[in-house]
Structure 1
Amino acid sequence: MKAIVRTQYGPPELLQFAEVATPVPAGNEVMIRLGAASVNPLDLYLMKGAPWDRIPGMKKPKPMVLGCDVAGRVEAVGREVTQFRAGDEVFGVTGFKGNGFAEYVCVAEERLAPKPVNLTFEQAAAVPVAAITALQGLRDKGRIRPGQKVLVEGASGGVGTFAVQIAKAFGAEVTAVCSTRNVHQAWSMGADCVIDYSKEDFTRSGQRYDLILAANGHHSIFDYRRLLVADGVYVAAGGGLVQIFETFTLGPVLSRMGRKKMVFFLAKVTRKDLDFLKELLESGKVVPVIDRRYRLSEAAEALSYLAEGHAQGKIVLTV
């Protein structure tokens, strides 16, 4: 089968569209004929490698097929699989091992769910990592409740577009922060207030929020803390390395100094949350936002576009 293979650390142009062995499902795995996949910052990280991996003289990486968000049709199942059978349409994630940018992929049963009936494969592939990050950030870490004032920074990206819609589905009053070219999109997703960060610094507005989800945070942790109400929660789900490091190291300390909570987290994709999202998607309360579509063979171009940091929603690969 054809797949997108990383043979060395570096930029997207080093990726190869190559022939690799077709996988065979293990006992708990489902073999999928891919309909579509989507690209994520995780793919960029695996493509480039950690800084220490790129030191001259370090061991070369093993060839690896990139990609984790997938949607497609079940081709075969392992002997332990009970929830799916050949012909079922599914969506989910491969996990941190990649393997999603290929014509066929094997995925553990617990990381898959039935595809929402009203979505195409492309739309379904845009959902898992970004939407679950938004869901768990708002619900599990942010403890979102109806009527709360919620601010989503980075509202036009993959996580942000889902966060705005999911927060509205939970009954929150949502403020979306984005650039000028994405203002209309934020309104169309149901935001109650939209702040164009090129014209207004929301950290100096004087407004206070019950919950801040930084899908793409670029301010100091102290700026976010100042914007919270007395028992508010700040959740860092993405952004600059400085901001992530601040939240990871200072967040626990600041959280013990009063009732405001400062949290950094990484999402964990589960069947339960995929099913929860399936209901939201089928009800029309949440709609995937797709910026661009590329063929599987054009994965390098898709990743280059993602790396620019200006995507309006998700970037999808079609097979």
Structure 2
Amino acid sequence: MKAVVQEGYGPPEVLRLAEVPRPVAGKGEVLIRVAAAGVDRGTWHLMAGQPYVVRLVLGLRRPRNPRVGQDVAGTVAALGPGVTGFAVGDEVYGVAQGSFAEYAVARADRIVHKPARLGFEEAGVVAVSGLTALQGLRDTGRVRPGQHVLVLGASGGVGTFAVQVAKALGAEVTGVCSTAKTELVRSAGADHVIDYTRTDFAAGGRRYDVILDIGGSSTLSRLRRALAPRGTLVIAGGEDAGVWIGLGRQFRAVVLSPFVRQRLTMFVAKTRRADLEALNELVASGRLTPVVGASYALADAPEAVRRLAAGQARGKTAITVRPAGPERP
């Protein structure tokens, strides 16, 4: 089968399309015939091997597993021993190992049935970013109805989900993005949009009950200026702190939090079936719609990752692997 692989760390040129053996579903796993996959910042971090601390887990000189991609949507091709709740031919989405491929294996507890309202491209971009937005706002941010929520990086993959999740939780939402993406953020449901090239979100008198920082470029002091006296700051990602650990602001926030009235937090999203089902409920009710800004063929995955790293992506980027439908011999 065809799959995108990387044999070292570096720029998108380390990615290439190759012929590899089709994976086999083990105990508690499902083999998925991939229809679409999503591109996220985590894919870029794993490709670049940055921050360097990730190499302690993935492999020091090159990744031990060369297959790329996490977000996935497709049809069940085979079931491993012990799997219940799924059947061959079911349409599913979630998180799989090496989803930039014609086939990928996923743990059965990391996928759910695809809602009929979504096509494969849309479903293929939901899991990683949708779970980050949901857990960051609902669980870590503890957003309640009537609160004022600020989303930094609102035009990206996590950001477009976060705007919609915050609205679904009953909040008044302000999104921060660049000039070219203000209408995108507004169309996602933001009540207010701040163009950071013209307005400093921390300079005015507005204070927010919850700030979800996805962008990673604001200092901790600047974020606190925009936060209500007893508000909650949720920092997602590690874009600002260099190539070694990538969690500088997060650590400073956690250390400072016990000494101030504001609640300063960080979190790492987890793939849980219950939360994927919660996303499905939001989709079914029409309160959540994935924003797919662009689609690329499997062979063009390096270009898709390049545009994401350059900040040119709008919403989520999809990799279309093959058309939906029954497998042909």
TM class by shorter chain equals: over 0.9
> Alignment RMSD, CA only?
1.7
| 2:315 corresponds to 1:316 | no
Q: CA deviation at 1:283?
A: 1.2
Distance 1:71 1:9 in 2: 26
Corresponding residue number in structure 1 for 2:89: 87
Report matched runs for 1:77-156 at 5 Å: 77-94=79-96, 98-156=97-155
Q: How does 1:84-233 map to 2 (within 5 A)?
A: 84-94=86-96, 98-233=97-232
Q: For the residues of structure 2 that align with 1:277 and 1:99, how far apart are their CA atoms?
A: 22
Contact 2:94/2:124 (8 A) holds in 1? yes
| Alignment partners' CA distance in 1, 2:277 and 2:209 | 27
Q: Alignment partner of 1:31: what SS? A: strand
TM-score, length-scaled by structure 2: 0.91
Distance 1:59 1:150, change over 3 A: closer
Aligned position for 1:40: 40
Equivalent position SS for 2:34: strand
Counterpart selection for 1:259 from 258, 261, 268: 261
Partner residue of 1:291? 293
Alignment partners' CA distance in 2, 1:22 and 1:303? 24
Percent identical residues: 49
- Equivalent-residue separation in structure 2 for 1:213 and 1:149 (angstroms): 11
Q: Which amino acid aligns with 2:20?
A: V
**Which residue pairs with 2:75 in the alignment?**
73
User: Following the alignment from structure 1 to structure 2, what is the Cα–Cα distance between the partners of residues 137 and 61?
Assistant: 28
- After superposition, give the CA deviation of every residue in 1:161-220 in whole Å (9 maximum; x if it has no partner): 000011001110001111111111122122111111111001111211100001113111
Query: Structure 2 CA distance, aligned partners of 1:62 and 1:274?
Result: 28
| Shift in Å, 1:297 | 1.2
What CA distance in whole angstroms lies between the structure 1 residues aligned with 2:229 and 2:61?
A: 50
Structure 2: runs of 5+ lacking an equivalent: 322-329
Structure 2 CA distance, aligned partners of 1:60 and 1:247? Answer: 28
Q: Which one of the candidate residues 250, 273, 279 is aligned to 2:252?
A: 250
CA distance in 2, matches of 1:253, 1:106: 39
Match status 1:26 vs 2:26: yes
Partner of 2:12: 12
What is the CA distance between 1:239 and its match in structure 2? Answer: 5.7
Kindly provide the amino acid, as one letter, of the partner of residue 289 in structure 1: V
Alpha-carbon contact 1:216-1:239 (below 8 Å) kept: no
Pair 1:79–1:239, CA change in 2 (3 A): closer
CA distance in 1, matches of 2:150, 2:141: 11
Aligned 8 A contact 1:33 1:105 in 2: yes
Superposition deviation, residue 60 in structure 1: 4.4
User: Aligned partners of 1:309, 1:116: CA distance in 2, in Å?
Assistant: 30
Partner Cα distance (1:10, 1:219) in 2 = 26
TM-score normalised according to structure 1 size: 0.94
Shift of 1:100: 1.0
How far residue 119 of structure 1 moved from its aligned partner, in angstroms, is 0.3
- Deviation string, structure 1 residues 90-134 (Cα, Å, up to 9, x no partner): 00002xxx4111101111000001111110010001111101101
- After superposition, the C-alpha distances for 1:243-296 in whole angstroms (9 at most, x for unaligned) are 963432211222101331111211001100000000101111111111110011
Seen in structure 2, the aligned counterparts of structure 1 residues 239 and 174 have a Cα distance that, compared at 3 Å, is farther
Q: Which runs of 5+ in 1 are unaligned?
A: none
Q: 8 Å contact 1:34–1:71 — kept in the other structure?
A: yes
Number of aligned residue pairs: give it: 313
C-alpha distance in structure 1 between counterparts of 2:308 and 2:221, whole Å:
29
- The one-letter code matched in structure 2 to 1:258 is V
Assess if the C-alpha contact under 8 Å between 2:8 and 2:61 holds in 1: no
**In the alignment, is the contact (CA less than 8 A) between 1:247 and 1:263 conserved in 2?**
no
Q: CA deviation at 1:63?
A: 5.5
Q: Residues 214-239 of structure 1, C-alpha deviation per residue, up to 9 Å, x if partnerless?
A: 11131111111122222210001136
Is contact 2:35-2:73 (8 Å) kept? yes
**Structure 1 contact 164–190 (Cα < 8 Å) conserved:** yes
Residues 131 and 269 in structure 2, CA contact (< 8 A), matched pair in contact too: yes
